[in-house]
Amino acid sequence: MQYDSESVLTVSQLTRQIKRNLEGSFTDLWVAGEISNYIYHSSGHHYFTIKDDKSELPCAMWRSTAAGIKVSLKNGMSIIAHGDISVYEPRGRYQFIVRWIVGQGVGNLELKFRELKERLQKEGLFAEEHKRAIPMFPTSVGLVTSETGAAVRDMINVLRRRMPSCRIVLCPVAVQGDKAAEDIARGIRLCNDYGDLDLLIVGRGGGSLEDLWAFNEEVVARAIFESEIPIISAVGHEVDFTIADFTADLRAPTPSAAAELAVPDYRDLIGDVSNSRSRMIFSLKSRMDSLRESLDRLASSYVFKRPERIFEGHRQRVDELSSAMVRAMNLRVERLGNRLGSVDGRLGTLSPKSVLKRGYAICRTHPDGAVVRSSGDVDVNDMISVELSEGTILGRVEDREQ
């Protein structure tokens, strides 16, 4: 096939012609769709995609336009956008330049997300009491993610840098597409069956709401909830939230952050051990110095120079206590003697002997010794004995008088 060199177009020339034709033909359009891949640039411009179930349309809205629009844009929102088709020449890509936006509400995917989140929350899948503790020093970490891409490389690099001794087990799964959710759930169950893992990281790198949708599926949420191994979710970027994030034991904003949360930095541990060792040595040295000072003070004290003085005071105290005890005993004996004498005097006064000395006598029958209290106690010719103050008289009853 022959060609005329003058008719050959450069890429820029062709793109410019397409730009003139498109921009002149597709103006003042109203397009309905659901927002995805929304980015708010630091320049103040907005970049996003509006899509339906079959196609996507790249969009840009300049800062000057956005200033007059009160609608707060976010992924999953259904909108009607007014604008023109334009071609971005450096990339040869056509895009829709938005001049105005009318919000229609939440899109289909966003509705599915909200409905599933509400239902699983009511079932308790997100409850704090079901969250497993993340181990402080895991020796083995499983990665449930795609075996290709930046996410897995970043996680492996961070884990190896922070804890070289930690064993890394990769369970490759599809993270995007119709079968991805089932594959992710299978990977989580497979790691649990494997058993020799302390922690799992489940996730992938960033993407659109559609790209991340596998992590919003119920089958993944239930696999995470039923896992016996603690799980850190690491899906997309910091602004991306999925059902997996709410179900997992810990959410990380990015895969790299998940790896940092999974294991401590061995250099920090070495530093902590070194600091603890230094503090312990310093504490022991201070304690020994204090004890040594106390010992020196005791060794140089008066008591240790003249130890016999310790007993002198005690010896004198013993003598004082002994003398006091003897005095107390003598006083006690004297008081008891006085009491005994008083009692003896009273007993002497009451004694029958004292009565007899005053001229009285005691008459008894003889020989049984019964006291005769009246004349009726004896008969004539009965033998009696009469006890006097000094001696006893025996006699016979001659007669009785009443």
Residue 101 falls inside a structural domain: yes
Q: How confident is the model at residue 276 (pLDDT cuts 50, 70, 90)?
A: confident
Which carries the bigger pLDDT value, residue 377 or residue 251? 251
One domain for residues 192 and 233: yes
**Structure token digits, residue 132:** 């497993």
Give the pLDDT confidence score for residue 257 in this predicted structure. 94
One domain for residues 172 and 295: no
Calculate ∠ Cα 10-13-14, nearest 5°: 90
Residue 89 falls inside a structural domain: yes
One domain for residues 273 and 237: no
Q: What is the mean pLDDT of residues 207-219?
A: 87
Residue 94 falls inside a structural domain: yes
Q: Is 75 left (phi over 0), alpha (psi -120 to 50) or beta?
A: beta
Separation of alpha carbons 220 and 230, rounded Å: 15
Q: What is the mean pLDDT of residues 371-382?
A: 83
Yes or no: say if 136 and 163 are a contact pair by the CB < 8 Å rule.
no
One domain for residues 116 and 260: yes
Give the pLDDT confidence score for residue 191 in this predicted structure. 95
One domain for residues 315 and 238: no
One domain for residues 260 and 281: no
Give the pLDDT confidence score for residue 249 in this predicted structure. 95
Residue 63 falls inside a structural domain: yes
Q: Which of 134-148, 178-192, 278-292 has the least mean pLDDT?
A: 278-292
How many domains are there within the chain?
A: 4
Residue 91 CB-density burial (10 A; 0-12 exposed, 13-18 middle, 19+ buried): exposed
pLDDT at 290 over 70: yes
C-beta neighbour count of 125 within 10 angstroms: 19
Q: What is the mean pLDDT of residues 52-64?
A: 90
Final residue belonging to a domain, choices 321, 345, 366? 321
One domain for residues 118 and 250: yes
DSSP state of 70: -
pLDDT tens for each residue of 2-14: 667 777 888 888 8
Residue 332 falls inside a structural domain: no
Residue 81 falls inside a structural domain: yes
One domain for residues 151 and 254: yes
One domain for residues 242 and 170: yes
Average pLDDT of the chain, as a whole number: 86
| Proportion of the chain in helix, strand, coil states, percent, rounded to 5 | 45, 20, 30
Which carries the bigger pLDDT value, residue 334 or residue 356? 334
Write down the pTM of the prediction: 0.53
3-class DSSP state of 395: strand
Final residue belonging to a domain, choices 80, 106, 132? 106
Find the length of the chain: 402
Residue 347 falls inside a structural domain: no
Q: What is the mean pLDDT of residues 156-176?
A: 94
Q: What is the mean pLDDT of residues 342-369?
A: 76
% of the chain residues with pLDDT over 70? 93
3-class DSSP state of 85: strand
Separation of alpha carbons 78 and 107, rounded Å: 5
**String of DSSP letters for 204-272:** E----TTTTGGGGSHHHHHHHHH-SS-EEEEESSTT---HHHHHSSEE-SSHHHHHHHHS--HHHHHHH
- CATH number of the domain enclosing 43: 2.40.50.140
Residue 45 falls inside a structural domain: yes
Give the pLDDT confidence score for residue 380 in this predicted structure. 83
One domain for residues 86 and 118: no
**Residue ranges with strand state E in 23-68:** 29-40, 46-51, 56-61
Separation of alpha carbons 48 and 38, rounded Å: 4
3-class DSSP state of 394: strand
Query: How many CA atoms are closer than 13 Å to the CA of 49, on its beta-carbon side?
Result: 15
Containing structural domain, residue 302 = 267-321
Yes or no: say if 338 and 345 are a contact pair by the CB < 8 Å rule.
no
Separation of alpha carbons 134 and 382, rounded Å: 121
**Structure token digits, residue 196:** 């020799």
Separation of alpha carbons 345 and 351, rounded Å: 10
pLDDT at 357 over 60: yes
Give the pLDDT confidence score for residue 349 in this predicted structure. 67
One domain for residues 24 and 119: no
Q: What are the φ/ψ torsions at residue 290 (nearest 5 degrees)?
A: -65, -45
One domain for residues 97 and 9: yes
Q: Which of 268-272, 300-304, 391-395 has the least mean pLDDT?
A: 300-304
**Structure token digits, residue 121:** 């929350």
**Structure token digits, residue 394:** 């025996």
Final residue belonging to a domain, choices 240, 264, 288? 264
Yes or no: say if 177 and 191 are a contact pair by the CB < 8 Å rule.
no
pLDDT at 182 over 80: yes
Q: Which residue has the tokens 């995007």?
A: 176
Closest CA to 191 of 207, 167, 210, 209: 167
Q: Which of 54-58, 83-87, 295-299 has the least mean pLDDT?
A: 295-299
Q: Is 365 left (phi over 0), alpha (psi -120 to 50) or beta?
A: beta
